[in-house]
C-alpha cells in the first residue's frame, strides 16, 4: 500500500470511526446475549428468548443506531476532537436511539419488558465507558498522531478571500487537524507572490489540475469572495472535477453554517461540497424510493386526506385541490397539487402578490423578516391550520407518484418567477423539485430568497440518500410544531 493511498484513506477518517461504531455495537450486543443465554441455564426462559433474538437486534437496529450517530454529527471533526462534546453528543444519541430500540423489541420481536429493560441497562452501562476509552481517547489520539506526524492533509486554497487568509494564518499557529496549507490559486495575483505567512500563489485557476498533481493535493478549499455567484459556482464545478475533497469558506455561502451544522477548521466554518455519489445511480435510487414511499404514504394517510377534503369543502366554496402550473426539473412545467387554503376568486391572477414576490426575489420591498409573500386576508380558517402544519402539501405525493417531484429537493416555482431568475439561480432546477428540502427544514420563511437558493444549491452539491433520509426525519418536527411554510 503506497503512501498516496494511505494519505487518501486517512482523509476518509469518518469511515474508520463508523467501522469502530459497528464493531462496538455488535460486540456489546453479542456479549450481553451470551450473558442472557448463561442466565437461562438457571431457569429464566425469557432471558434465553432475549438472547436468541439478539441477531434481529443486530440486523435491524444497527442502521438506525448509525443513522442517529450521524444525525447528531458524531462524525464531524468538530465533535471528534473535543472530549466533552464527544460524550455529550453520544449521550444525546443514546437518548434518541434507546426508545427506538425498546419499542422495536417490544412490538416487532414481542420480547418481555423485564428482560428488555435489563438488556438496555446493561447495554448503556457497558457502552458508555468502552466508548469513552476506545473512541474518545484511543481513536482520537491515534487520529491526531497520524495526522500530525505522517498523514498530513495537503490543502490548496482557491482565491484570496479573507476567510481563506484567516484560515491559513490560524493553522500556522494552531493545527490539531494535520492540515498543511500548500499554497493559493488566484487569477488576480501574480504567481509566486506571498499571500500570508509564507504561503504563495502557485498559479491561476486554469492550472489547478497540474498544481494538484505536482503538490499531491488532498483537499481544495474555495475561499473566493470578490465574485458573483455564477463565477463561484463555475469555480466549484471545476474543483469538483478534480475528484478531491472540496470545501467552501466564503461569505457568499454564509447562510449554510448559520443554518446547518458544518465542520470548522480553527473555528472557521467550511462547507463540504465534495464529489459524492454517481448522479445517475442516485437519481434512479431516489426515483424508486420516492415512488414506493409516496404510495405507502398515500395508503396510510388516506383517512386523513378524506377528513381534510371534507373540512375544506364545508368551510368555503370551491374545489378541494388547488392546481397550479409550476416549473420543475430542467425548466419543464407540470401541474402542482395542494389542498386549497384560500378563498377562491374569479380572477386568481394576484397582481399584488406578483409584485411583492418579484421585489422579494430582488432582495427588497418585503417586510423586515423577509416573510413569505401571500395575501393573508384570503386564507380560510382551516387553511391557516393546514399551512401552519404543512398538511396542505400532502397532495404533492401524487406529483411524486407521477415522477414530477421528489420527496426531497428544491421547491418548484411559478413560471413568472422562473423567467425572472438569474442564471446561477436556475441551477437549482438541475434535479427534480421536492416536497421538502434543506431550506424548508432549516430556514423556512426566516431566510431571504437568495439564501434559500444557496441552500438548495448546497443540497444539490451534497445530494445523497443519507442526506434525503435526514431531511425527511427533520421534516416531521417542523410539521408537528407548525412553523409557517411556503
Predicted confidence at residue 348, as pLDDT, reads 58
pLDDT in tens, 156-191: 998 877 878 888 888 777 676 778 888 999 888 888
Number of H helices, E strands in the chain: 20, 12
Residue ranges and CATH numbers for the domains of the chain are 3-149 (no CATH), 153-272 (3.40.50.720), 279-480 (no CATH)
Three-state SS sequence of 292-312: HHHHHHHHHHHHHHHHHHHHH
By 3-state DSSP, what share of the chain in percent is helix, strand and coil, each rounded to 5?
A: 60, 10, 30
Predicted confidence at residue 349, as pLDDT, reads 60
8-state DSSP, 371: P
CB atoms within 10 A of CB 279: 13
What mean pLDDT, rounded, does the chain reach?
Answer: 81
How far is residue 486's CA from residue 473's CA, in Å, rounded to a whole number?
A: 19
pLDDT in tens, 267-311: 788 888 876 655 677 788 888 999 999 999 999 999 999 999 999
pLDDT in tens, 74-92: 888 778 878 888 899 899 8
Residue 4 has pLDDT above 70, yes or no: no
The contacts of residue 348 (CB under 8 Å, 6+ apart) are: none
pLDDT in tens, 355-397: 778 888 877 544 434 445 566 677 888 988 998 888 999 999 9
Amino acid at each position: 500500500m503506497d503512501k498516496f493511498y494511505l494519505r487518501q484513506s486517512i482523509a476518509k477518517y469518518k469511515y474508520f470511526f463508523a467501522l469502530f461504531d459497528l464493531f462496538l455495537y455488535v460486540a456489546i450486543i453479542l456479549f450481553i446475549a451470551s450473558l442472557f443465554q448463561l442466565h437461562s441455564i438457571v431457569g429464566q426462559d425469557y432471558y434465553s428468548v432475549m438472547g436468541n433474538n439478539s441477531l434481529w437486534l443486530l440486523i435491524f437496529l444497527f442502521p438506525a443506531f448509525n443513522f442517529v450517530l450521524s444525525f447528531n454529527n458524531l462524525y464531524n471533526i468538530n465533535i471528534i476532537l473535543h472530549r466533552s462534546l464527544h460524550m455529550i453528543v453520544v449521550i444525546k444519541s443514546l437518548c434518541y436511539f434507546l426508545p427506538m430500540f425498546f419499542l422495536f423489541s417490544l412490538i416487532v420481536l414481542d420480547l418481555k419488558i423485564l428482560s428488555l429493560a435489563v438488556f438496555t441497562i446493561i447495554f448503556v452501562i457497558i457502552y458508555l465507558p468502552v466508548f469513552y476509552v476506545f473512541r474518545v481517547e484511543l481513536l482520537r489520539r491515534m487520529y491526531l498522531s497520524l495526522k500530525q506526524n505522517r498523514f498530513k492533509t495537503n490543502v490548496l486554497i482557491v482565491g484570496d478571500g479573507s476567510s481563506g487568509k484567516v484560515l491559513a494564518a490560524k493553522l500556522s499557529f494552531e493545527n490539531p487537524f494535520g492540515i498543511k496549507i500548500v499554497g493559493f490559486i488566484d487569477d488576480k495575483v501574480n504567481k509566486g507572490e506571498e499571500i500570508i505567512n509564507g504561503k504563495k500563489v502557485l498559479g491561476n485557476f486554469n492550472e489547478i489540475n497540474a498544481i494538484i498533481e505536482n503538490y499531491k493535493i488532498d483537499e481544495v478549499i474555495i475561499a473566493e469572495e470578490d465574485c458573483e455567484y455564477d463565477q463561484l459556482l463555475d469555480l466549484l464545478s471545476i474543483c469538483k472535477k478534480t475528484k478531491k475533497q472540496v470545501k467552501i469558506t466564503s461569505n457568499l455561502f454564509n447562510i449554510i453554517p448559520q443554518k446547518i451544522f458544518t465542520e470548522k477548521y480553527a473555528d472557521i466554518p467550511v462547507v463540504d461540497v465534495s464529489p459524492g455519489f454517481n448522479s445517475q445511480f442516485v437519481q434512479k435510487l431516489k426515483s424508486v424510493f420516492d415512488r414506493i414511499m409516496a404510495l405507502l404514504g398515500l395508503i396510510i394517510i388516506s383517512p386523513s386526506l378524506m377528513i381534510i377534503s371534507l373540512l375544506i369543502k364545508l368551510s368555503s366554496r370551491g374545489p378541494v385541490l388547488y392546481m397550479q402550473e409550476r416549473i420543475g426539473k430542467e425548466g419543464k412545467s407540470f401541474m402542482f397539487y395542494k389542498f386549497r387554503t384560500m378563498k377562491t376568486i374569479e380572477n386568481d391572477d394576484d397582481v399584488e402578490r406578483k409584485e411583492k414576490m418579484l421585489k422579494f426575489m430582488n432582495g427588497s420591498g418585503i417586510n423586515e423578516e423577509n416573510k413569505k409573500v401571500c395575501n393573508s386576508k384570503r386564507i380560510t380558517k382551516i387553511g391557516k391550520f393546514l399551512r401552519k402544519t404543512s398538511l396542505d402539501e400532502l397532495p404533492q405525493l401524487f406529483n411524486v407518484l407521477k415522477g414530477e417531484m421528489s420527496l426531497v429537493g428544491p421547491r418548484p416555482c411559478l413560471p413568472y418567477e422562473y423567467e425572472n431568475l438569474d442564471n446561477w439561480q436556475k441551477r437549482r432546477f438541475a434535479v427534480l423539485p421536492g416536497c421538502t428540502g434543506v431550506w424548508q427544514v432549516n430556514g423556512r420563511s426566516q431566510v431571504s430568497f437568495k439564501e434559500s437558493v444557496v441552500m438548495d444549491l448546497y443540497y444539490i452539491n451534497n445530494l445523497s440518500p443519507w442526506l434525503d433520509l435526514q431531511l425527511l426525519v427533520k421534516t416531521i418536527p417542523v410539521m408537528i410544531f407548525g412553523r409557517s411554510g411556503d
